[in-house]
Structure 1
Amino acid sequence: MRLAERMTEKQLKAVTKTRACGGVPGLVVKVVKLKDGSLAKYFILRESTINRIFTLGRYPQMSLADAFKKAADWKVKIRQGIDPSEEEKALKASLRRKSTSGDDRLTFEQLVYRWIEFNEARGRWNNPSKPKKEVWQGFFRNHIPDSIRMCPVEELKPEMFAAALGEKWRTMIDTPERILSDARQAIDWAIRSEFVPLMLNPAQVKDGKLGDLLPLVRAEGGHEPALPPKRMPLFFAELMKLVPVSQTARCLAFAILTAARNSTAREATWGEIKETEGQWFHVIPRERMKVKGEKIPFDRKTPLSPQALELLNTAPRIGLDPKAFIFPNINKGRNSPFTRDSVRALIKRMHDKQKAIDGIGWIDPEQTHAKTGKPRIVTLHGCARATFNTWAKDASGYGHPAFAKDLRESCLDHRNESYQCAYDREQALGDMREVFDAWGAFCFSQIK
């Protein structure tokens, strides 16, 4: 029997009727229409050898990668004569008994939320658009199994974290690292606070047993792929065609024009756009910036070029709430910013379209995938930061005035609290405006 081609995440999101996932025989995504008209998607394993159908989980609470892994694991158990669904029920019942039987030991989930509350009370993680508790609710929902979530902290083992996150450690760039970093810090805090007995931290990667258990191969990180500056005007011309119908495209364009970091652009609010003496700025609170030092006595200000200002003037806006996001994710509600993945998906679609035209697409010719050897597709951060800096350094190459290194660094908000930066009390806003005005004109140079 011919096995269907393995389904991709993009295909799964677009599925509207039940179909095979491929990859693992019998794995199916079942689509059910709910009363409110929305579609629910469930991963089903049909095992013909014993004439059984197993429900593995619901998407997106269970990822496609996890469904493939679980289906493959369950098929092995079925061949061994084990009923995996009964085994899973028994495990969950055991965990529930532990949590409700008067055992007052701290579970991992309870510890994480207690650790978050402790640190928030001290003023840490002051980001109302992305509360730490909501981040961890997502981690528990999508990445951490009940066997860890409901386990007493003192019974956690490195092997449990390795089993749950090993594949993600190999294929995902930062999520498993963030999970394990927070888990390590929370458990260390519990030990210091004597909430749990003295123990070796099971989430310790560096110099810990968990580091010996996790795969050595990691997803590619390093520098973000950036577009060569000479290709930016054409890229921008194609991007601006999408702006009237895509808030994600408008967000990407704004990020590039303001040399913004990823979250700085995605989480920008209308209250951050301010006018001073006839000049417009994006004024970003210092706590939202990467450099948050208390000794830096001013918020980050980015002069808005005419092109950046026009993007804002033509952006749809509902109401006058200053806390409303400039680039809201309508699909998730008006007070939700776009995710990194939505911007990546937009650039990937642009790349595929351009590659069909010129055989190249929007890639960084200096960076290649370690496995495939193919050039890497550019990112928001690479285009908004590296491409901008490369352009700004080459005055004669791109026909703009020479910009001093300190000025370029100020435009990128590359600062520290020592040496000459310790004496800065304000940014060189006039000179910065010249840089961003020239950058905006360059980006729009092929737009008619």
Structure 2
Amino acid sequence: MNFVGGVSGLGLYVSGCGSRSWIFRARVAGKRRDMGLGGFPDVTLAQAREMARDARAKLRIGIDPIEERRSARSALIAARATAVTFSRAAGLYIEAQEATWRNPKHRQQWANTLTTYAGPHIGGMLVRDIEVGHVMAALEPIWAVRTETASRLRGRIESVLDWATVRGFRAGPNPARWKGHLDKLLPAPGKLKKVDHHRSLPYAEAQAFMDRLRVQEGMGARALELVVLTAARSGEVRGATWNEFDLDQAVWVVPAERMKAKREHRVPLSAQAVALLRRMEEVRMTAYVFPGSRKEMISDMTISAALRRMGLDAVPHGFRSTFRDWAAEQTEFPREVAEMALAHTVGTAVERAYLRTDLFDRRRQLMQAWADYVCPQAKE
């Protein structure tokens, strides 16, 4: 190495292949250390001298310029490793969580909400840089006009940022948290928009409705009949397959994977429900009890269309409320029998641990009474 003068320890190193680079040599804590300053001619002599002087000045005040450079490089690498955008973090969060989601559409709903409403405001931002103002920019435009969507969006942003914090991509409080934070900046969703419960039919009108429904044509009308007679969710009826039914024993066993609570549900079938299914069995075409035009399960819109054609201001799910109101006001059956008929979870965890029965026989009596109420002439 050829020392060039101007600054003590500055030299030009020439390798065996002829390349040249600047080296600053000094003693640090009693040991000789070499510090590279860059290659010549990219780094001029004047620039090399300036860097060497800066290193020499740091040594005089007890700073090791070599370790300082290594720390800076390490910090840069760490910063790059945590430089994750919100869109990227959202995708990683969804991948990590989707196996726990019951509904296959959940992933698409999450991705669509975050892409549509959060993406334009914070999608390209690094999660470590997102603050409350950025979250508010995504929420405020839709908070009053699309309150339910905005509320879900806030919760999903909060979940993604919580995940990013645990993964080390950001630090500090979550700017999307609600309690004690955004609740001071935004009105509570419940005060902006009244909860829109499923529109239902008063039970006093149920028999007249069923009389009209039974003369309607179409697969949607027949599926809706079973919805009413069993108080089941429309999705459970739409996806029903023939192997789930034992018509001789008058029982329908809905497998756990098709139930909201992910527990198998036995449905006692009234005489009216069995008669309906016997008629459907005569025209059986596929594994589905109520197939659509492509021989797959019918769509939810097909059942809703049957209601619209009848001019009824209700939704299929609302008939569960109709049934529940009737059971509470017109029968002496215990509450837990009606709740189990709806496949609801009954009681506390301790109570459920001791209640091992599904009250099937009592539920059979209840469902027959309900069928007799809405279809007194349709047992055969």
Q: Which TM-score tier does this pair reach, normalised by the shorter chain?
A: 0.5 to 0.7
Q: Which amino acid aligns with 1:255?
A: V
Q: Which amino acid aligns with 1:245?
A: G
Matches within 5 A, 1:388-403: 388-395=323-330, 402-403=332-333
Q: Which amino acid aligns with 2:372?
A: A
* Distance in 1 (alpha carbons) for counterparts of 2:353 and 2:235: 26
1:275 matched to which residue of 2? 246
Query: Displacement of 1:114 after TM fit?
Result: 1.8
Provide the secondary structure at the position in 2 that maps to 1:176. Answer: helix
Task: Kindly provide the CA deviation profile for residues 279-331 of structure 1, in whole angstroms up to 9, marking residues without a partner as x.
Answer: 321424178334x5xxxxx62211122433455552876643xxx6x556769
Query: Match for 1:237 among 211, 231, 241?
Result: 211
Q: Which amino acid aligns with 1:256?
A: V
2:273 matched to which residue of 1? 308
* Distance in 1 (alpha carbons) for counterparts of 2:337 and 2:187: 43
Distance 1:275-1:344 versus aligned 2 partners, 3 A rule: closer
Query: TM-score scaled by structure 2?
Result: 0.62
2:101 matched to which residue of 1? 125
2:61 matched to which residue of 1? none
Matches within 5 A, 1:202-213: 202-209=175-182, 212-213=185-186
2:65 matched to which residue of 1? none
Contact 2:158 2:176 in 1 (8 A): yes
* Distance in 1 (alpha carbons) for counterparts of 2:157 and 2:242: 35
Query: Match for 1:382 among 281, 306, 318?
Result: 318
Contact 1:166 1:214 in 2 (8 A): no
Structure 2 residues not aligned, in runs of 5+: 1-79
Provide the secondary structure at the position in 1 that maps to 2:251. Answer: strand
Q: Which amino acid aligns with 1:221?
A: V
1:367 matched to which residue of 2? none
1:76 matched to which residue of 2? none
Q: How much is the aligned-residue C-alpha RMSD, in angstroms?
A: 3.9
Matches within 5 A, 1:124-203: 124-127=100-103, 130-140=104-114, 143-166=117-140, 168-172=142-146, 174-194=148-168, 196-203=169-176
Q: Which amino acid aligns with 2:227?
A: A
Contact 1:166 1:215 in 2 (8 A): no
* Distance in 2 (alpha carbons) for counterparts of 1:246 and 1:318: 12
Task: Kindly provide the CA deviation profile for residues 183-235 of structure 1, in whole angstroms up to 9, marking residues without a partner as x.
Answer: 322221221221x2113323323332376146765332165443221111122
* Distance in 1 (alpha carbons) for counterparts of 2:150 and 2:309: 27
Contact 1:329 1:338 in 2 (8 A): no
1:411 matched to which residue of 2? 341
Matches within 5 A, 1:3-42: none
Query: Displacement of 1:271 after TM fit?
Result: 6.8
Provide the secondary structure at the position in 2 that maps to 1:281. Answer: strand
Structure 1 residues not aligned, in runs of 5+: 1-101, 293-297, 354-361, 363-376, 396-400
Q: Which amino acid aligns with 1:218?
A: L
Query: Displacement of 1:171 after TM fit?
Result: 4.1
* Distance in 2 (alpha carbons) for counterparts of 1:309 and 1:235: 20
Distance 1:278-1:261 versus aligned 2 partners, 3 A rule: closer
1:98 matched to which residue of 2? none
1:430 matched to which residue of 2? 361
Structure number with the higher helix fraction is 2
Task: Kindly provide the CA deviation profile for residues 58-94 of structure 1, in whole angstroms up to 9, marking residues without a partner as x.
Answer: xxxxxxxxxxxxxxxxxxxxxxxxxxxxxxxxxxxxx
* Distance in 2 (alpha carbons) for counterparts of 1:345 and 1:222: 20
Q: Which amino acid aligns with 1:434?
A: Q
* Distance in 2 (alpha carbons) for counterparts of 1:277 and 1:445: 21
Provide the secondary structure at the position in 2 that maps to 1:260. Answer: coil
* Distance in 1 (alpha carbons) for counterparts of 2:237 and 2:153: 24
Q: Which amino acid aligns with 2:174?
A: N
Distance 1:239-1:409 versus aligned 2 partners, 3 A rule: same
Of structures 1 and 2, the larger Rg is shown by 2
* Distance in 2 (alpha carbons) for counterparts of 1:167 and 1:215: 15
Contact 2:203 2:325 in 1 (8 A): yes
Query: TM-score scaled by structure 1?
Result: 0.54
Query: Displacement of 1:277 after TM fit?
Result: 6.6
User: Between Structure 1 and Structure 2, how many residues are aligned?
Assistant: 296
Provide the secondary structure at the position in 2 that maps to 1:202. Answer: coil
Distance 1:349-1:336 versus aligned 2 partners, 3 A rule: closer
Query: Displacement of 1:269 after TM fit?
Result: 3.7
1:10 matched to which residue of 2? none
> Are 1:258 and 2:188 matched, yes or no?
no
> Are 1:289 and 2:260 matched, yes or no?
yes
Q: Which amino acid aligns with 1:382?
A: G
What fraction of aligned residue pairs are identical, expressed as a percent?
Answer: 24
